[in-house]
A and B are shown apart, each in its own frame.
Chain A
Amino acid sequence: MPAGLFVEPGGFYIDPVRRVDRAIVTHGHSDHARPDQTHVLATPETLAIMKLRLGERAGRRHQALGYGETIRIGEVDLKLVPAGHVLGSAQAVLEYRSQRVVVSGDYKRRLDPTCRPFEVVPCDLFVTEATFGLPVFRHPDARQEIDRLLHSVRLFPERCHLVGAYALGKAQRVIATLRACGYDAPIYIHGGLLAMCDLYQAHGVELGELRHVTGVPKSQLEGQIVVAPPSAMNDLWSRRLPDPLVAFASGWMRVKQRARQRGVELPLVISDHADWDELVQTMRDVQAPEIWVTHGGEEALMRQASLMGLKARALSLVGYDDEDET
């Protein structure tokens, strides 16, 4: 397995999946921020997330680079620009001999109260993700999905709504969107989310009153919303909840049979990745004549790029998990 995207004139990798000397990390998800790198450069938020998740294995030397600041590495000028994916997520903007390359990392363009919105940077080469790179993936407005959750809570007041949401990013976005939709009751969270929610709040993201679900008597959880990582959904863990109604916040929930396969009763189509329309719109916005696709539905996105008259290439990078598959 190759280590990942290597920028030769700078001597660094972007989101390497193996140990390398010098790594630029676009965001804190575990498939992009691997442990034990010798030298890590990332946004301060991403470095904080890595320290929280990886502890001593977060890398030997850390270098923070704020959004919009430029640094020269080797012969390359590097700048990090918001990607709108999760807190601290960045696109890597590389300038070399008057050519500009933008590596999107994972990104989205929808409203997300928990992170800075995606910024369009026109470039000569755009290296894009394609997790939802098929025209069947069109994410609805996240607030519409949260309204469905709230509707269900009203409809089944005797049941506990267990919302599966990835621990970094999705969980906080679900909570913040619930607040934006006017839900101000305490929200119960799985122990695995406590530290990350604290970190978000320390970075100024308002999540309202959160309560650790452990130790709360079953009867008190009737009619409440509990947010937990996806791994806890079908686990023994959920037995402590009164008649849980399982919801799952993920872009994959668009495909009914996929949602059903996971035993989900209330699929919530909420994704931190760009959907098809956003991927296509972004290819247009950055005005790059050439597109490289890193991972996901590369075949279809390449086809779309060629229909748009762009040069396209699939990198077929391996080692990146699909969203929520972990």
Chain B
Amino acid sequence: MIRFARFLDDLLFTPQRNGKLRLMVEYFRTIPDPDRGWALAALTGSLDFAEVKPAAIRALAAARVDAELFGWSYDFVGDLAETVALIWPAGSHDDHAAEPVEDDDTLSLTAIVTALSQAKRGQAPDLLAGWMDRLGPTARWALLKLVTGGLRIGVSARLAKTALAQFGSQPIEAVEEVWHGQKPPYGPLFAWLDGRTSRPDAGEGPIFMPLMLANPLEDEDFAALDPTLYFAEWKWDGIRVQLAARGGEKRIWSRGADDASAAFPEMIEAMPADVVLDGELLVGEAASGSGGEVRPFNDLQQRLNRKVPSVAMLKEYPAFVRLYDALYIGGADLRGLPLEARRQHLEDWYRAAPRPRLDLSPLIPFADWAELGRLRDGAREAGIEGLMVKRRDSTYVSGRPKGPWFKWKRGALTLDCVLMYAQRGHGKRSSFYSDYTFGAWTPAGELVPVGKAYSGFTDEELLLLDRWVRHHTTKRFGPVREVEPGLVLEIAFDSVHTSTRHKSGLAMRFPRVHRIRWDKPIAEADTVENLKRLM
């Protein structure tokens, strides 16, 4: 566990992709089976034991630490696993700030994973407490990350497989193909990559096929493009997925090759056999059903936060996939065909039978770029981020080839607002005041909140904002600070609609900090009336 913890810690602090690859290759080279296999399973989200719920981990901490002290600490750190790892009182070793250096066999990754998968219901927390008493803070952190699922160290399944490919000097495609038939701790896979055995049988499984991605296009670039050679579609604001159903099995792959099947069981159920399709996962109702309504990204976010959804979540936030491309239909690989032909295959297939929870992303007819631009700026309903522009003759090539596909995001609206409250963030923003509630002026000269933003600024700007908040706090309410009105934030947002959530009666969609107006006096910030005019 100690070696694994150091590995995770190194990955967390290594920003560059190449550095992360180097660390993983090094780990696979030096760590014996089956430890390296369990580590790979942890990186790719393939571990199979009952997760320990956050509430159970809180309960463990509550048994050893004063509840109020825990509360203040969690509020500062912002991450449950890290808070518990740091606050855990010293066990058998004297100095709880220090890390023991070597693993003994009872604390190896394999021993821990094995014990967890054999544990009966409710036993896991006690096991966990026993281990934490014997580990240092970083190992406790890694252990808690492991048992709660979701390491969040900036390594996608795809990157882990890329490291495997490098480690074994094999092309990534070969690893992807073999991957499907393998199970943790991946003995035969490593045997092949070590060069000790031949390649394991790939089978006819639903393997991930790397996606084709688009380049951003600036307004002025269009002059050089002939509009008759391109299709236009809406750019849907969900998550890109690959629906893969082959060899009697089904998977939903994210663009990073993470397996999202468990999180969307209704999509697995609805997925027809023998296809590999490219589309956008959305919450709402497919046009094949009664509605065709796309709900805001925030609703999808509710689902993305859950590894496995509850029955209530499934009902309240139903998922569907809006299709825009087909890689395989029946046994036929369509990737070498031009987009226009793939589209025809997709449409024919779609109409051949009822396709619940699936619909087609419509093509938008247009005569020239100016007309398309007007359509883009006019569309402000939920679910649309802008436009996709794709060459009719483009074959399906993985990666981000320059030229065939473009994304053309819609320009944002902006408003100068005054910072009113700030709250500490979570995850990467832990312990920084990174969530900002801002207001606009009423005719009576009062500031009322109109929205909340937690993105759009650089890391350097976050440091400055955080410091500004700390130095201008007038009141504290738990994790929230009220600040004296004194800082203008230029907020960018997609649209504005009525809402009961804010006192102003208005709410912005996707508000983010566009610029920090250190220079601007608050009296010159915008009014609620100005915001209303943008509706």
Residue ranges of A at the interface with B (Cβ–Cβ < 8 Å): 134-141, 144, 234, 252, 254-267, 269, 275, 297, 299-300, 303-304, 307, 318-319, 322, 325
Residues of A with C-beta under 8 A to B79: 256-257
A140 shortest CB reach to chain B, Å: 4
B73→A300 contact, CB < 8 A: yes
| Binary per-residue interface labels of chain B (130-145) against chain A in the complex, 1 for a CB within 8 Å, 0 otherwise | 0000000100010000
A139→B72 contact, CB < 8 A: no
A136→B83 contact, CB < 8 A: yes
A288 shortest CB reach to chain B, Å: 21
Residues of A with C-beta under 8 A to B431: 252, 255, 257-258
Neighbour of A260 across the interface among B13, B83, B96, CB < 8 A = B13
Bound complex: CA A266 to CA B19 (Å): 13
Q: A140-B95, A265-B14 are in contact. List 20 more A-B contacts (CB 8 A).
A: A134-B76, A135-B73, A135-B86, A136-B73, A138-B137, A139-B97, A140-B98, A141-B98, A254-B86, A255-B76, A255-B430, A258-B430, A260-B13, A261-B428, A261-B459, A261-B462, A297-B76, A303-B72, A307-B66, A318-B473
B13→A135 contact, CB < 8 A: no
Residues of A with C-beta under 8 A to B14: 265
Bound complex: CA A135 to CA B13 (Å): 24
Bound complex: CA A297 to CA B431 (Å): 12
| A134-B72, A263-B459, A303-B66 as given contacts; A258 in contact with B432, CB under 8 Å | yes
User: In the complex, what residue of chain A is closest to B66 when comparing beta carbons?
Assistant: A307
| A136-B87, A261-B462, A263-B459 as given contacts; A141 in contact with B429, CB under 8 Å | no
B73→A140 contact, CB < 8 A: no
Neighbour of B459 across the interface among A262, A300, A318, CB < 8 A = A262
A138→B72 contact, CB < 8 A: no
User: In the complex, what residue of chain B is closest to A269 when comparing beta carbons?
Assistant: B97
Residues of B with C-beta under 8 A to A136: 73, 76-77, 83, 86-87
Residues of A with C-beta under 8 A to B76: 134, 136, 255, 297
Residues of A with C-beta under 8 A to B98: 140-141, 144
Which 5 A-B pairs give the minimum distances between C-beta atoms?
Answer: A136-B86, A257-B430, A140-B97, A138-B97, A300-B72
The residue in B13, B70, B471 that gathers the most chain A C-beta atoms within 10 A of its C-beta is B13
A263→B15 contact, CB < 8 A: yes
Bound complex: CA A186 to CA B273 (Å): 68
Residues of B with C-beta under 8 A to A138: 86, 96-97, 137
Bound complex: CA A269 to CA B98 (Å): 11
B242 shortest CB reach to chain A, Å: 30
Is B269 positioned at the interface, with any CB of A under 8 Å from its CB?
no
| A138-B96, A257-B429 as given contacts; A234 in contact with B460, CB under 8 Å | yes
Residues of B with C-beta under 8 A to A258: 430-432
A257→B82 contact, CB < 8 A: yes
Residues of B with C-beta under 8 A to A266: 13
Neighbour of A265 across the interface among B15, B69, B70, B470, CB < 8 A = B15
Of the A-B pairs whose beta carbons lie under 8 Å apart in the complex, a sample of 20, sorted by A's number, is A135-B70, A136-B76, A137-B86, A138-B137, A141-B98, A252-B431, A256-B82, A257-B79, A257-B82, A260-B428, A261-B428, A261-B430, A264-B13, A265-B13, A265-B14, A297-B72, A300-B72, A303-B72, A307-B66, A318-B471
Residues of A with C-beta under 8 A to B87: 135-136
A108 shortest CB reach to chain B, Å: 14
Is B68 positioned at the interface, with any CB of A under 8 Å from its CB?
yes
Residues of B with C-beta under 8 A to A300: 68-69, 72-73
A322→B470 contact, CB < 8 A: yes
User: In the complex, what residue of chain A is closest to B82 when comparing beta carbons?
Assistant: A256
Bound complex: CA A269 to CA B12 (Å): 16
The residue in B15, B69, B73, B431 that gathers the most chain A C-beta atoms within 10 A of its C-beta is B69
| A135-B87, A257-B427 as given contacts; A303 in contact with B97, CB under 8 Å | no
A256→B66 contact, CB < 8 A: no
Bound complex: CA A266 to CA B12 (Å): 10
Bound complex: CA A263 to CA B69 (Å): 29
A260→B66 contact, CB < 8 A: no
User: In the complex, what residue of chain B is closest to A136 when comparing beta carbons?
Assistant: B86
Bound complex: CA A137 to CA B460 (Å): 24
B470→A303 contact, CB < 8 A: no
User: In the complex, what residue of chain A is closest to B466 when comparing beta carbons?
Assistant: A325
| Binary per-residue interface labels of chain B (227-242) against chain A in the complex, 1 for a CB within 8 Å, 0 otherwise | 0000000000000000
A11 shortest CB reach to chain B, Å: 28
Chain B stretch 415-446: residues in CB contact (< 8 A) with chain A? 427-432
B9 shortest CB reach to chain A, Å: 8
Bound complex: CA A254 to CA B137 (Å): 10
| A265-B14, A307-B66 as given contacts; A255 in contact with B77, CB under 8 Å | yes
B96 shortest CB reach to chain A, Å: 6
Bound complex: CA A134 to CA B431 (Å): 12
A325→B73 contact, CB < 8 A: no
A256 shortest CB reach to chain B, Å: 6
Bound complex: CA A299 to CA B76 (Å): 12
Residues of B with C-beta under 8 A to A259: 13
B138 shortest CB reach to chain A, Å: 9
Bound complex: CA A183 to CA B95 (Å): 25
Residues of B with C-beta under 8 A to A234: 460
B13→A261 contact, CB < 8 A: no
Residues of A with C-beta under 8 A to B429: 257, 261
Is B383 positioned at the interface, with any CB of A under 8 Å from its CB?
no
Bound complex: CA A293 to CA B85 (Å): 26
Residues of B with C-beta under 8 A to A262: 459, 463
A230 shortest CB reach to chain B, Å: 10
Bound complex: CA A319 to CA B472 (Å): 10
Bound complex: CA A134 to CA B66 (Å): 12
Is B78 positioned at the interface, with any CB of A under 8 Å from its CB?
yes
| Binary per-residue interface labels of chain B (40-72) against chain A in the complex, 1 for a CB within 8 Å, 0 otherwise | 000000000000000000000000011011101
User: In the complex, what residue of chain B is closest to A322 when comparing beta carbons?
Assistant: B470
Is B502 positioned at the interface, with any CB of A under 8 Å from its CB?
no
A326 shortest CB reach to chain B, Å: 9
Chain B stretch 1-25: residues in CB contact (< 8 A) with chain A? 9, 12-15
Residues of A with C-beta under 8 A to B65: 135
User: In the complex, what residue of chain B is closest to A264 when comparing beta carbons?
Assistant: B13
User: In the complex, what residue of chain B is closest to A1 when comparing beta carbons?
Assistant: B471
Chain B stretch 65-112: residues in CB contact (< 8 A) with chain A? 65-66, 68-70, 72-73, 76-79, 82-83, 86-87, 95-99
Residues of B with C-beta under 8 A to A264: 13
User: In the complex, what residue of chain B is closest to A141 when comparing beta carbons?
Assistant: B98
A321 shortest CB reach to chain B, Å: 8
The residue in A134, A138, A252, A262 that gathers the most chain B C-beta atoms within 10 A of its C-beta is A134
Bound complex: CA A262 to CA B86 (Å): 20
Bound complex: CA A261 to CA B137 (Å): 20
A303→B73 contact, CB < 8 A: no
B186 shortest CB reach to chain A, Å: 27
Is B497 positioned at the interface, with any CB of A under 8 Å from its CB?
no
Residues of B with C-beta under 8 A to A252: 431
B114 shortest CB reach to chain A, Å: 27
The residue in B73, B78, B141, B470 that gathers the most chain A C-beta atoms within 10 A of its C-beta is B73
Residues of B with C-beta under 8 A to A275: 97
Is B467 positioned at the interface, with any CB of A under 8 Å from its CB?
yes
Bound complex: CA A261 to CA B76 (Å): 15
Bound complex: CA A256 to CA B9 (Å): 9
B59 shortest CB reach to chain A, Å: 17
Residues of B with C-beta under 8 A to A141: 95, 97-98
User: In the complex, what residue of chain A is closest to B72 when comparing beta carbons?
Assistant: A300
User: In the complex, what residue of chain B is closest to A140 when comparing beta carbons?
Assistant: B97
Residues of B with C-beta under 8 A to A137: 86
A325→B467 contact, CB < 8 A: yes
Bound complex: CA A301 to CA B69 (Å): 8
Neighbour of B12 across the interface among A140, A256, A303, A322, CB < 8 A = A256
